[in-house]
């Protein structure tokens, strides 16, 4: 039978829930830190332990996470090289001191009072992302977290404190970013792509000289010129930023579209210098780079596949008006649009982000996107059972189905 926690135990709301409430943002998951309790106290009160590396418990009624106050000590390289110490004697301030940024090191007591030993409230008001203390350098994942927070908070006017950016540069130079496991890099990248301004993620990593380590294929785009009549922004890296932000605008919270947008022009970094600023065949050149990036970060297959087709086929959608019905059909087939119909809408959105992700063109129309969707819908409406009813099967059935779909595309055009 469970019993209440001892009277001397104190529970505080911490982290993102406090931060976002102070910023007036919608509430997300709530996390709590428990000061003065032991594992036995938590279990006796009915909490269910779920943490293995350190004691984390689920509340018996709300299911919300409650972690015992703890300290961390660096014991090895990489983001996981820590020894965790959880003990009833660990104070709230000691627990907050191990956190990454001052805006995440604010606690709220049951009576609503804030505990803010590192001036996180002031940094929130000043729109500054600042590290808590020198232990920041012990976890290389914090470089990516800083960039990811900027992808979310840049629209609110946030900037990285100069001293924090200096530490991020030192961490990149030290080589610890190479110790990050691919899954954690992908997790931070995907969260950045779901944010309002993914470009701030790229810029922050580049400012810290970390983009070349984390996303070298993207970093290589910076400084590569494009033809000004098509790309007024000229720099291909700047174009990648604009496209990522446009994708976030067209498909908010969609990291699948966002990742394909990020990857669509990787081939431009591989254009021979003598051919610049033209980028003939950059679509074909980029496919290998997209595949290599996906394999290194272990991205989901769905993300990899959409990124590859966006890289390879985006110019075909831009010139859709020039394509014959048979060519449109074959484009849809190459995109696997008949087996996976949702993919065509996603692909069209990536192409629109590419076209509008250029200096001065953010509000330009992109009729090719709607046209591709309309022609795809017409081809999808062709019923295979009507063709089978004619007694066709095997290759003959496939040829007749293709012909019927081409006819439907022509009629819908």
Residue 27: pLDDT band (50, 70, 90) is confident
Residue 392: pLDDT band (50, 70, 90) is confident
Q: Where in 36-143 does DSSP place strands (E)?
A: 48-49, 56-58, 65-68, 70-74, 82-86, 107-108, 114-115, 128-129
Q: Tell me which architecture the domain covering 1-137 has in CATH.
A: 2-Layer Sandwich (3.30)
Tell me: the pLDDT tens digits for 334-345? 999 999 999 999
What pTM was estimated for this model as a whole?
A: 0.92
- What is the rounded CA–CA span in Å between residue 210 and residue 413? 47
- What is the rounded CA–CA span in Å between residue 190 and residue 197? 12
What residue spans define the domains of the chain? 1-137
Tell me: the pLDDT tens digits for 72-84? 776 555 445 557 7
- What is the rounded CA–CA span in Å between residue 132 and residue 161? 11
Q: How far apart are the first and last CA of the chain?
A: 71
Report the chain's mean pLDDT, rounded to a whole number: 94
Asked whether the beta carbons of 323 and 331 are under 8 A apart, the reply is: yes
């Amino acid at each position: 039978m469970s019993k209440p926690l001892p009277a001397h135990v104190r529970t505080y709301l911490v982290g993102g829930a406090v931060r976002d409430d102070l910023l007036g943002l919608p509430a997300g998951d709530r996390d709590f830190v428990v000061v003065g309790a032991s594992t036995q106290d938590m279990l006796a009160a009915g909490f269910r332990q779920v943490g293995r590396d350190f004691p984390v418990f689920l509340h018996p009624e709300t299911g919300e996470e409650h972690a015992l106050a703890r300290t961390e000590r660096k014991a090895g390289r990489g983001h996981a090289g820590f020894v965790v110490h959880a003990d009833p004697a660990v104070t709230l301030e000691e627990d907050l001191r191990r956190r990454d940024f001052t805006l995440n090191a604010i606690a709220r007591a049951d009576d609503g009072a804030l505990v803010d030993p590192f001036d996180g409230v002031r940094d929130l008001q000043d729109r500054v992302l600042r590290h808590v203390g020198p232990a920041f350098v012990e976890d290389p994942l914090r470089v990516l977290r800083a960039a990811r927070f900027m992808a979310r908070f840049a629209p609110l006017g946030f900037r990285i404190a100069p001293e924090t950016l200096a530490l991020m540069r030192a961490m990149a130079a030290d080589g610890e970013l190479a110790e990050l496991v691919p899954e954690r890099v992908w997790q931070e990248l995907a969260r950045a792509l779901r944010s309002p301004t993914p470009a701030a993620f790229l810029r922050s990593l580049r400012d810290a000289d970390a983009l070349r380590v984390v996303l070298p294929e993207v970093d290589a785009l910076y400084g590569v010129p494009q033809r000004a009549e098509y790309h007024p922004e000229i720099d291909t890296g700047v174009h990648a930023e604009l496209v990522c932000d446009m994708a976030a605008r067209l498909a908010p919270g969609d990291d699948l579209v966002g990742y394909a947008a990020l990857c669509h022009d990787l081939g431009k970094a591989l254009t021979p210098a003598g051919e610049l600023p033209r980028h003939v065949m950059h679509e074909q050149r980029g496919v290998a780079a997209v595949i290599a990036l996906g394999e290194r970060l272990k991205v989901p297959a769905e993300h990899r596949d959409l990124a590859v087709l966006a890289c390879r086929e985006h110019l075909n959608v831009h010139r859709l008006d020039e394509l014959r019905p048979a060519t449109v059909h074959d484009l849809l087939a190459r995109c696997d649009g008949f087996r996976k119909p949702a993919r065509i809408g996603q692909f069209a959105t990536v192409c629109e982000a590419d076209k509008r992700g250029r200096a001065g063109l953010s509000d330009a129309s992109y009729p090719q996107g709607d046209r591709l969707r309309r022609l795809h819908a017409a081809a999808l409406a062709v019923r295979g059972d009507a063709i089978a009813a004619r007694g066709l099967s095997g290759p003959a059935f496939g040829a007749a189905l293709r012909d019927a779909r081409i006819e439907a595309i022509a009629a819908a055009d």
